[in-house]
């Protein structure tokens, strides 16, 4: 049995390690050892679901999973709906905890995206609480609810229109007291579909010739609004999402196939482009939105 020891923190920084190690496994029996995991956010949990699905697709059988020893970690993962979403992908070494009814509110627990109805349900669930979180916790203007809902709808719709495969979405707000000194909203979306390169190949590969690759496809969609639609007015989602996230000083990164591209603000240290990663199917989108720093009196005067 091949044992994959998961990092202590499952977040946007450890996603690629999880996915790369999953692809490198050659044996049929796989054990994901999460005993020492102390922290998991939507990016880490959704990446883990992708890893589990990839294992099932390759071997035809569920992977083994040792749940974290830390009860706070397992309790939070249960509250986010991870174990419910993972029950068809993993065989757990013990019964996972029930979903607690604790006092920690969840913006959006892990939800599968398979139909347009799922997308509408996700947006409806979030709209009720997004206004308070964006305004009170992140100090965003009240008008931010609409563009945030559009972002949420676009990234989920990307699964249906481009991936042509099921996926997951999850979102939560955390206090990055040590890392950033502010609250941050983390939104994660992932699927196990075709990926950006395959989605755009028919319309655009000839134009790029030998340069056509996962990285080139990501850059074309990310920076230039290239889509799989001949109509230039359709499918501008990724480029517009990048621009809106930038207005909020947020971080956006997308992995597809062997590459990851990112729009990196000054508070983050992600590289803008990674290539030669393991060839993992589908795509993973990570959005980090930090709380807005209140303007000082001098800045208010200057803006006026």
Print the SS3 string covering 43-101: HHHHHHHHHHHHHHHHHCCCEEEECCCCHHHHHHHHHCCHHHHHCCCEEECCCCCCCCC
- Dmax over Cα atoms in the chain, in whole Å? 65
Domain ranges, ordered by start, for the chain:
1-96, 106-294
**At residue 300, does pLDDT exceed 50?**
no
Going by C-alpha positions, the residue among 78, 111, 7, 46 that lies closest to residue 283 is 46
User: For domain 106-294, is the CATH number 3.30.565?
Assistant: yes
Q: Are strands 63-66 and 30-33 parallel, antiparallel or unpaired?
A: parallel
Residue 228, pLDDT score = 65
Instruction: CATH number for 1-96: choose from 3.30.420.40, 2.40.50.140, 2.60.40.1930, 3.30.750.24.
Output: 3.30.750.24
Which spans in 159-265 are helix H? 195-208, 214-224, 237-247
CA 216 to chain centre: 21
Residues in the chain: 304
pLDDT tens digits, residue range 213-272?
A: 999 999 999 988 887 655 544 445 788 999 999 999 999 999 999 999 999 999 999 999
pLDDT tens digits, residue range 106-155?
A: 899 999 999 999 999 999 989 878 888 999 999 999 899 999 999 999 99
In this prediction the pTM is 0.91
Going by C-alpha positions, the residue among 147, 190, 150 that lies closest to residue 168 is 190
| Residue in the block written with tokens 């993962």 | 77
**At residue 162, does pLDDT exceed 80?**
no
Please state, in angstroms and rounded to a whole number, the distance separating the CA atoms of residues 149 and 56: 33
Residue 236, pLDDT score = 52
Ordered DSSP codes for 232-272:
TTS--HHHHHHHHHHHTT-EEEEEEETEEEEE--TT----S
More confident position, 10 or 161? 10
């Amino acid at each position: 049995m091949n044992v994959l020891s998961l990092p202590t923190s499952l977040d946007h920084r450890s996603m690629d390690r999880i996915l790369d190690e999953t692809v490198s496994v050659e044996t049929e029996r796989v054990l994901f050892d999460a005993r020492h995991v102390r922290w998991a956010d939507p990016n880490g949990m959704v990446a883990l679901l992708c890893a589990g699905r990839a294992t099932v697709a390759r071997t035809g059988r569920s992977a083994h999973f040792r749940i974290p020893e830390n009860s706070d970690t397992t309790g939070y993962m249960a509250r986010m709906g991870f174990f419910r979403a993972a029950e068809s992908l993993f065989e757990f070494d013990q019964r996972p905890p029930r979903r607690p009814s604790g006092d920690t509110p969840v913006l959006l627990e892990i939800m599968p995206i398979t139909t347009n109805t799922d997308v509408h349900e996700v947006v409806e669930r979030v709209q009720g609480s997004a206004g308070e979180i964006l305004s009170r916790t992140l100090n965003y203007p009240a008008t931010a609810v609409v563009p945030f809902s559009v972002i949420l709808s676009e990234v989920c719709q990307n699964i249906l229109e481009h991936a042509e495969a099921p996926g997951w979405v999850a979102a939560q707000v955390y206090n990055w007291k040590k890392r950033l000194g502010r609250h941050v909203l983390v939104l994660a979306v992932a699927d196990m579909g075709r990926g950006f390169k395959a989605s755009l190949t028919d319309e655009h590969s000839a134009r790029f010739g030998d340069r056509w690759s996962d990285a080139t496809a990501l850059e074309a969609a990310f920076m230039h609004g290239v889509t799989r639609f001949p109509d230039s007015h359709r499918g501008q989602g990724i480029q517009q999402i990048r621009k809106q996230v930038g207005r909020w000083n947020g971080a956006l990164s997308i992995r597809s196939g062997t590459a990851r591209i990112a729009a990196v603000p000054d508070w983050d240290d992600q590289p803008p482009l990674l290539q030669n990663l393991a060839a993992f199917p589908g795509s993973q989108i990570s959005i980090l939105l930090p709380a807005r720093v209140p303007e000082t009196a001098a800045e208010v005067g200057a803006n006026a």
